[in-house]
Amino acid sequence: MRFSSFLQPLARWSGRAGLALAGLALLPGCKFYDIWRMDGHQSTLVVDGPVARSQRDLFYVTCWVTLVIFILVGAVLAYATWKFKARNAADEHAEPPEQGHGNPLVEMGLIAGSVLALVIIAYPTLTSLWYTYDVPTEEKKDAYEITATGYQWWFKFEYPHEQINGAGALTASNELVIPAGRAVRVNLRTVDVIHSFWIPKLAGKVDMIPNRANFLWLKADQPGYFWGQCAEYCGDSHAVMRFRVVALGPKEFNEWLDSQLQGARSVAVKTAAAGQAKAQFAALRTFKTNEAGVTDKFEVAPLEAWRAKQFPEKNEDGALIAQGKALFTSKTCMACHTIRGHGAVGVTAPDLTHLGSRTTIAAGLLENNREQLQRWIHNPAAVKPGNKMAKGYIDNKISLTPEDEAALVAYLESLK
């Protein structure tokens, strides 16, 4: 009897300790340093824009109010537990003390306290709701408009005020370039299921709902590079439905627009580097299914990495690129993708006109480099389960030889 009464709490506590240890064991996977600083790529606590700042401040108010309540209630509970506990065998069998039937002062106090807590939380909540809902009136005139559309599992970004002769609005995919220091109003659409648009350091999250014209606004304090994520479960590859946001100063933003409005780049077939690239491709390794991507391992600051991407590679192999361009048509890639100026006008998949100038591929999942591009086109299903490109390979009986892959990658890389 004695022994088991000793064992029971021990079992209970060892269970809790086990859970705590399991939690600790998971921590290294979350990069302990980032947790400590609260400054990961998708931090909502260290933010870079007024909308996210308003959301964060509201979170803090709620946290502080609930912390005060927790401490008060916890203190009263601890006091009562200690004060009224059984102190000896006689206490254990004693009648319960005389029960009270309400204390008007305590009850009124509790009601007043609750109302006060609600008001303290409600005021900043409403203020924040109004502020984050739409672009403030004084900034409306200068606001920039973009339409973001969710697809399973990638994002399309259209610039309705940047029209291309005869080809509609400028369209980009998976990397949203915005003007820094300026309010941006984002129209949120979807072509299939519900997605949710979220850039933790800037703003969010608002759902993209079929047949409903949602929107949000955001602003980046200064030029920067930000991580975005679909925040509503939307199928197999929801967790890897990501995107990036690049905020640029006014001059650089206009330069970017000018370059994007151009059609796809063409490379002369005769270049000095012929043959070199093919040898490099032969040396690429193969990836395991579900092997992690390397999107976050930029060798320089991410914005600098993005800037470097805007220029063509030095040793382009014109002949290989031409071969890739022909394959893009013959392997039916052009049925789904657009490459403006190169005859590809598909609209069900990301626009690739300037693919080479993006830092990531596969919806912000993989770094945009030769190795990852080859990995992606070699077996898209292994990277992003359930995606339409993988199905397209099967439906259209597409098979690529290593040489085909090298040529396609060289072509895609050349699309600056």
Q: Which residues bind ligand CUA (CB under 6 A)?
A: 150, 153, 195, 230, 232-234, 238, 241
Tell me the closest approach of the beta carbon of residue 223 to ligand CUA, in angstroms: 27
Whether 281 contacts 406, CB under 8 Å? yes
Q: Please, what is the Cα angle at 317 between 297 and 313, to 5 degrees?
A: 35
Nearer to ligand CUA, 150 or 204 (CB): 150
Tell me the closest approach of the beta carbon of residue 155 to ligand CUA, in angstroms: 8
Nearer to ligand CUA, 200 or 356 (CB): 200
Tell me the closest approach of the beta carbon of residue 243 to ligand CUA, in angstroms: 10
Nearer to ligand CUA, 189 or 238 (CB): 238
Whether 232 contacts 240, CB under 8 Å? no
Strands (E), 180-315: 184-190, 195-199, 203-208, 214-218, 224-230, 242-248
Tell me the closest approach of the beta carbon of residue 297 to ligand CUA, in angstroms: 24
Nearer to ligand CUA, 232 or 317 (CB): 232
Partner residues linked to 218 by β-bridges: 184
User: Among residues 368, 334, 371, which one has the least CA distance to residue 353?
Assistant: 334
Nearer to ligand CUA, 232 or 413 (CB): 232
Whether 147 contacts 160, CB under 8 Å? yes
Whether 217 contacts 199, CB under 8 Å? no
Tell me the closest approach of the beta carbon of residue 154 to ligand CUA, in angstroms: 9
Tell me the closest approach of the beta carbon of residue 395 to ligand CUA, in angstroms: 23
Nearer to ligand CUA, 245 or 248 (CB): 245
Determine whether 407 is exposed, middle or buried from the number of CB atoms within 10 Å of its CB (0-12, 13-18, 19+): buried
Computed on alpha carbons and rounded to an integer, the radius of gyration of the chain in Å comes to 28
Instruction: Assign 253 to helix, strand or coil.
Output: helix
